[in-house]
Chains A and B, each alone.
Chain A
Amino acid sequence: MTAAAPIPTATAAPLLRATGVSKHFPITRGLLSRTVGHVRAVEGIDLEIAQGECLGVVGESGSGKSTLGRVILRLLDPTAGQIAFDGTDVASLSPGALRAFRRHMQMIFQDPFASLNPRMTVGASIREAMRLHRVCEPSELDDRVAGILGRVGMSPDHASRYPKAFSGGQRQRIAIARALAVGPRFLVADEPVSALDVSIQAEVIELLQELRRDFALATLFISHDLSVVEVVAERVMVMYLGRTMETGDTRRIFARPHHPYTNALLSAIPSRRSRPDRIVLKGEIPSPSNPPSGCVFRTRCRHALPECAAAVPPMRQIAPGQWSACIRDDITTGAAS
């Protein structure tokens, strides 16, 4: 990353700022767990999110989206980089301070079962989260649970049931209720609607949008579905092999992608309108333990030049609200649709 490059900025003063964040997982072999290499899951990511703002993160499977989300919440320790939340350096919090800090930063997952204990009633799950963070007086807990369930479109008597009694969409509502119960200001949503039917997906998207407005939640919304991101996120970040390829204003980027990878992703979205100029990317994402030199996308890029292998292209501003890490400006990438 060139130090001079502007960090793609939040639309207002950022609540969260990540600078140069990397996460490498060691690859170990043998009885002595000798380290033989590293999976470079996230490599030098910069991002900012303002209060009430939603940043969408897109990219193919294995591009590092979930790892980034977990590192930002410090569910994983970063290998490098700073994470500042409202002035606090999250990366250096002690375990005790971190536990208390979690109240401000919550996460929801694709599979709500991952965050709901199957042996606890829905009410008990939500109460536990609130007790842990001392959100309110113990005597108020039941009222609060009923209130938050109502807020996500469930009824208070659902509190006494177990997660398995609910459909996928309802479980996601419950997971959202549990995350919101502690009053967070920042939410990482990792593929929250990817496992849902289109109709249920539309309901959960609407719910998330509404809650985000009402609670002024800053959101990092991870999805491999670009059309969902287009609906929920004001700004978007396109990741590939752990790095940002392009970032900026969602409308701008969807209308006029600069980076060949963004263009390929957008053109792969199935559409009812005919799209004769579809770009079908060949092959699959390479292994992050041995990423290509220079531009990591070059092995699948049909515009690659010899100089693309020389150095990692710096992030540069292409237009107001648009930054791209591609060295070429002579490629015409058509509007996606």
Chain B
Amino acid sequence: MPETVTATPPPHPAGTPILRIDNLCTWFDIDEDRVLRAVNGVSLSLAEGETLAVVGESGSGKSVTGLTVMRLLMRSPARIVAGSVHFARKDGRTVDLLTLPEAEMRRIRGSEIAMIFQDPMSSLNPVFPVGEQIAEGLRLHRQMSRGAARTRATELLELVGIADPARRADEYPHQLSGGMRQRVMIAMALACDPRLLIADEPTTALDVTIQAQIMELLRDLQRRSRMAMIFVTHDLNLVAEIADRVAVMYCGQVVEEGPVSVLLDNPRHPYTRALLQCIPERDPETGRATVRPIAGKIANPLAPPEGCRFHPRCPHVADICRKGEPGLQDSGAGHMTRCLRWREIA
């Protein structure tokens, strides 16, 4: 089995790339003789002001990709086996985040690149008022005084749509609802005007109504700054609402990537097509809503299938799929597909 997969160069998004991930491989040493190739040859790039959605089933490597960019997976059992993550800094320099000294990374993390998570409690400290937690970042990265940071924190809470922000600033995370905590996380992430925001399933735990509020907030904030965003989700419907481009991941690899309208209206990879059919949808003719599950089981990342990783579940599988490992191929207009048979099944 090939150790790593050499990737085709990623398609170039419009504008200057702010982030360029090349052939990233993040593995986990599970025990003496087992290695989990969580991310295996991922290449992605992102322009200023652009939103890239990363979708796929759980375990496909979405979060590991985000955490690697944040450099939060540098220690055992995680191992970055290959790849680079080039980031265009505010001062104009382009640096490889993976080889940067930790002191410099600390100045970037939470300031030029920020991340929000599905579970806000995991990144909010339960024993400090939320306003203080937002102010802390400002004092650290912006050298603001205590008073100025506090004022700014209150402004940020207002910006993310929290009513009565001055009072809320003094409350502890457990006193807030799930939607409010997620807003606090967003306020915290935006405090230092990041150039890149990595949002890992920021609305998965929320009601549709609150999700709609958060999505509107994110879109609005992006309109005002030139912030680029990686939006991780497993909800393909949500993708249509926020993203410019989409990357679909399966078993540690990007299997399809392209502009959002092209990919959702005209998916080429059998996995993307199957994923779209899982979404409950109403048949306009009969009025009946249905779902169509994907055949078979999600690949075991410890023992991924030979050849195309999707082949045991693919309705179009042929002999070649079991042997050769498909590379990402450009199928026109920045639409990339990792399928040996995309032309035949189109």
Which residues of A come within 8 Å of B, CB atoms? 60-61, 197-203, 205-206, 224-228, 230-231, 251, 254-255, 264-265, 268-274, 278, 280-284, 337
Q: How far is the CB of B98 from chain A (nearest CB, A)?
A: 29
Q: How far is the CB of A7 from chain B (nearest CB, A)?
A: 26
A171–B193 alpha-carbon span in the complex (Å): 42
Q: In the complex where A199-B275, A268-B212, A272-B237 touch, is A230 in contact with B282 (Cβ < 8 A)?
A: yes
Known: A203-B293, A205-B291, A282-B213. 4 other contacts (CB 8 A): A201-B278, A226-B208, A270-B208, A270-B240
A280 is contacted by which of B212, B280, B290 (Cβ under 8 Å)? B212
Interface residues of B in 38-57 (CB under 8 A from A): 57
Q: Mark B274-289, 1 if CB is under 8 A from A, else 0.
A: 1100111110000111
Check B291 against A251 for contact (C-beta < 8 Å). no
Residues in A with CB closer than 8 Å to B208 are: 224-226, 265, 268-270
A272–B57 alpha-carbon span in the complex (Å): 18
A205–B293 alpha-carbon span in the complex (Å): 9
Q: How far is the CB of B245 from chain A (nearest CB, A)?
A: 15
Q: In the complex where A205-B291, A269-B237 touch, is A281 in contact with B212 (Cβ < 8 A)?
A: yes
Shortest 3 CB-CB contacts between residues of A and residues of B: A202-B293, A270-B237, A202-B291
Q: Mark B285-304, 1 if CB is under 8 A from A, else 0.
A: 00111111110001000000
Q: How far is the CB of A134 from chain B (nearest CB, A)?
A: 36
A199–B180 alpha-carbon span in the complex (Å): 29
Residues in B with CB closer than 8 Å to A226 are: 208
Check A199 against B211 for contact (C-beta < 8 Å). no
Q: Which B residue sits closest to A279, measured CB to CB?
A: B212
Check B240 against A271 for contact (C-beta < 8 Å). yes
A337 is contacted by which of B58, B282, B291 (Cβ under 8 Å)? B282
Q: How many A-B residue pairs have CB under 8 A?
A: 98
Q: In the complex where A61-B178, A226-B208 touch, is A272 in contact with B289 (Cβ < 8 A)?
A: no
Q: Which A residue sits closest to B210, measured CB to CB?
A: A284
Question: Is B264 interfacial (CB 8 A cutoff)?
Answer: yes
Check B293 against A199 for contact (C-beta < 8 Å). yes
Q: How far is the CB of A205 from chain B (nearest CB, A)?
A: 5
Check A280 against B213 for contact (C-beta < 8 Å). yes
Question: Is B171 interfacial (CB 8 A cutoff)?
Answer: no
Question: Is B179 interfacial (CB 8 A cutoff)?
Answer: yes
Question: Is B170 interfacial (CB 8 A cutoff)?
Answer: no
Residues in B with CB closer than 8 Å to A200 are: 57
Instruction: Sample 9 A-B pairs with CB under 8 A, ordered by A number.
Output: A197-B234, A198-B275, A199-B57, A201-B291, A268-B208, A269-B208, A269-B237, A270-B237, A281-B209
Check A270 against B209 for contact (C-beta < 8 Å). no
A8–B57 alpha-carbon span in the complex (Å): 39
Question: Is B29 interfacial (CB 8 A cutoff)?
Answer: no
Check B278 against A202 for contact (C-beta < 8 Å). yes
Q: Which B residue sits closest to A206, measured CB to CB?
A: B293
Question: Is B159 interfacial (CB 8 A cutoff)?
Answer: no
Query: Looking at A271, A272, A284, which has the most chain B CB atoms within 10 Å of its CB?
Result: A272
Residues in B with CB closer than 8 Å to A205 are: 280, 291
A268–B212 alpha-carbon span in the complex (Å): 6
Check A198 against B235 for contact (C-beta < 8 Å). yes
Check A227 against B234 for contact (C-beta < 8 Å). no
Residues in B with CB closer than 8 Å to A61 are: 178, 207
Residues in B with CB closer than 8 Å to A281 are: 209, 212-213
Check B287 against A251 for contact (C-beta < 8 Å). yes
Q: How far is the CB of A273 from chain B (nearest CB, A)?
A: 8
Residues in B with CB closer than 8 Å to A284 are: 177, 179-180, 210
Q: Which B residue sits closest to A204, measured CB to CB?
A: B293
Residues in A with CB closer than 8 Å to B140 are: none
Check A227 against B213 for contact (C-beta < 8 Å). no
Residues in A with CB closer than 8 Å to B287 are: 251, 255
Q: In the complex where A198-B234, A280-B216 touch, is A264 in contact with B293 (Cβ < 8 A)?
A: no
Residues in A with CB closer than 8 Å to B209 are: 60, 264-265, 268, 280-281
Residues in B with CB closer than 8 Å to A251 are: 287-288
Interface residues of B in 218-252 (CB under 8 A from A): 234-238, 240-241
A226–B290 alpha-carbon span in the complex (Å): 13
Check A198 against B207 for contact (C-beta < 8 Å). no
Q: How far is the CB of A269 from chain B (nearest CB, A)?
A: 6
Q: Which B residue sits closest to A170, measured CB to CB?
A: B297
